[in-house]
Structure 1
Amino acid sequence: MAVELKTKEHIRGIRKAGRIVAACHQALSKRIAPGVTTLEIDRFVERFMLERGATPAQKGYKGYPYATCASVNEVVCHGFPDSVPLETGDIVTIDMVADLDGWKSDSAWTYAIGKTTASIQKLLLTAEQALIDGIKQAVPGNRLGDIGYAVQSRAERAGFSVVTSFVGHGIGKHMHEYPEIMHVGIPGQGITLEEGMVITIEPIVTAGQPDVYITQDGWTARTRDGAWAAQFEHTVAITKEGPVVLTRWE
């Protein structure tokens, strides 16, 4: 399968969608608090996008019914928003994809609800730094394995595991494009990164084992051992000047 390389004009379109996603996460960071429900968050995100001329690309994708994925504590990804209030000490990952004029941009962020423990804070910091380490490897001439190795090394050095059941992906006119981006890897292996590729890097890091299962709704993924998990994701363009994060917050 061939990688679809993007022109500078294409990347500008993805960046415009990415700015909406970034602004929405920034707004959410001030709204997420104990007592707020993930269903309220979901409605806020959908309204935020629509008011800016974008649509939530996840809603309706393969029958998915919501504008966001909202994954609390041991839910690693694809959690359904619900009416259960978030409690102090919880963590929640909000994953969203904006479609603006046909171009899509994708970002997930894990938020701590009020004050959390030192061990959970370490999990969040490690997962975010693993994303940053992966992004640094997204340069022309490197291999996909370089990204995965950087992510995996950061997580495992801190005593955590990387969930391998879910991957990043190319993105553009379609939410999921080739190639798949593994978050574990061997340096120098995998396809070569090229200028014009636009990908998501989105490691899920867990405090326990990497094994997960899908619940009866067919979407929600949870850790088998009940350990909590954190995920941070950006949409990244690979350019000759280096990686450009298209969903970076102001």
Structure 2
Amino acid sequence: MTTSSTTLAPPAKLPGPNEPCWCGSGNKYKKCHRGDDSQARAPAPASRRVRPGAVSPRRPVPAHIPRPDYAETGRPGPGAKGDPATRVERMRRACRAAAEVLQVTGAAVKPGITTDALDAICHEEYIRRGGYPSTLNYHGFPKSLCTSVNEVILHGIPDSRPLEDGDIVNLDVTIFLDGMHGDCSATFPVGKIDAASEQLLRVTRECMMLGIEAVKPGLPINVIGRAIEAHAKRYGYGVVQSYCGHGIGEIFHLEPQVSHTFDYHATDIIQEGMFFTIEPMLTMGSIRHLDWDDGWTVVTADGKRSAQFEHTIYVTRDGAEILTQV
């Protein structure tokens, strides 16, 4: 799950078309953020293939499962600090568990299954491992899994819609276990998909891996976005800029923010011992997006497909250790 953004929120009073953009890029507003700022929240368009279904009630979590600080209120706090001496090993356990849950839930993807049924499978797998679904009631999110189908970029809410042959669906899994959050996602084909969608999935995963390979202590964090963006552009894909990777650990979302495009402002230095996610979102068309009126679902403005892959990594002396793999 991604809630961070690589840009600041627009101010209440927006600049004129020919004035400098509020984001600090130095470009005129009309050539920078005016188009994005004009996209108000919109209901799910009736003409889109993906339409919202019925959302079932929140699934209960047994009382013995340790919870993050927002589990009841929906408002994240400072998080609880565990033993620093065991922090890395606890993070490894949480991330391995997340990878296992993603593997089991992904194996259930097939035509006819609803995204709500996938949420139920995922929920039970968290509990089987003694973990809490990190997304559940995080800022009020109603489910234990994010399911983003076709043109949904991210934060899709599981519902009663059955998946159809030819769809693609991203499953975004995060578990709170041993006081740490482990976060990963992958986009799965539903039945037989067309060649264009197959390529989108392959290249998106390649972009994630190239971003991970770029991680080295002492380098600016924008080397990750540079590697991802360069590979995506070879295939003509857009890379979503409004959502990014993020630091993670005792708290679900932390600094640093990890842009998936090259951002010359992103000069924070990668340091040994960091935990963060790399989770590029690629689009077949425009990177502009619309928000459904459920407050969560983000879709491509042109209705073309989007895919995402995500790992949580640990920065070592020599590069990056991928934590979210089985």
Fold shared, TM-score > 0.5 on shorter chain: yes
AA matched with 2:213? K
Distance 2:234 2:154 in 1: 23
| Aligned match for 2:164, one of 69, 87, 108 | 87
CA distance in 2, matches of 1:135, 1:9: 24
Matches within 5 A, 1:54-203: 54-185=131-262, 190-203=267-280
Higher relative contact order, structure no. (Cα contacts within 8 Å, ≥ 6 residues apart) = 1
**Counterpart position of 2:296:** 219
Residue aligning to 1:25: 102
Judge conservation of contact 1:143–1:187 (CA < 8 Å) in 2: no
What is residue 246 of structure 1 aligned with on the other side?
323
The CA RMSD measured in Å over matched residues stands at: 1.5
- Cα distance in 2 for partners of 1:186, 1:61 equals 28
- CA distance, structure 2, for counterparts of residue 233 and residue 36 of structure 1: 23
Matched, 1:49 2:126: yes
Please give the per-residue CA displacement for 1:62-94, whole angstroms capped at 9, x wherever unaligned. Answer: 011100111000000000101111011000001
CA distance in 2, matches of 1:38, 1:104: 23
3-state secondary structure, aligned to 1:222: strand
2: distance between equivalents of 1:83 and 1:159? 34
- For residues 10 and 78 of structure 1, the distance between their equivalents in structure 2, rounded to whole angstroms, comes to 28
**Matches of 1:104 and 1:93, distance apart in 2:** 19
SS at match of 1:108: strand
Code of the residue aligned with 2:129 in structure 1: it is: R
| Identical-residue share of aligned pairs (%) | 38
Amino acid at match of 1:26: Q
How many residue pairs get matched?
Answer: 244
Q: Calculate the TM-score normalised by the size of structure 1.
A: 0.94
Listed as ranges, the gaps of 5+ residues in structure 2 are 1-82
> Which letter does structure 1 place at the counterpart of 2:137?
G
CA distance in 1 between partners of 2:244 and 2:139 (Å): 17
Q: Distance in 2 between matches of 1:28 and 1:21?
A: 11
Show CA shifts across 1:11-50 (max 9, x none): 2111101111111122123211111111001011111010
> Which residue in the other structure is 2:286 paired with?
209
Looking at structure 1, the residues matched to 323 and 264 of structure 2 have their Cα atoms a distance apart, in angstroms, of 25
SS at match of 1:50: helix
More strand by share: 1
Cα 1:26–1:142 change in 2 (3 A) is same
* Higher deviation after alignment, 98-107 or 26-35: 26-35
Q: Are the structure 2 counterparts of residues 234 and 143 from structure 1 closer, same or farther at C-alpha, using a change threshold of 3 Å?
A: same
Which amino acid in the other structure matches residue 277 of structure 2?
A: T
**Bigger radius of gyration among the two:** 2
Give me the TM-score of the superposition, normalised by structure 2: 0.73
Following superposition, the deviation at residue 189 of structure 1 comes to 5.2
What residue identity is the alignment partner of 1:61? Answer: Y
Q: Kindly indicate whether residue 86 of structure 2 is the aligned counterpart of residue 9 of structure 1.
A: yes
Output one character per residue of 1:132-190: Cα deviation in whole Å (capped at 9) or x when no partner: 00000112012111000001111111110001111110000000001111000157951
Task: Please give the secondary structure, in 2, of the residue aligned with 1:109.
Answer: strand
The alpha-carbon deviation at position 241 of structure 1 amounts to: 3.0
Structure 1 residue runs of 4+, over 4 Å off? 186-189
> Does the 8 A contact of 1:58 with 1:64 survive in 2?
yes
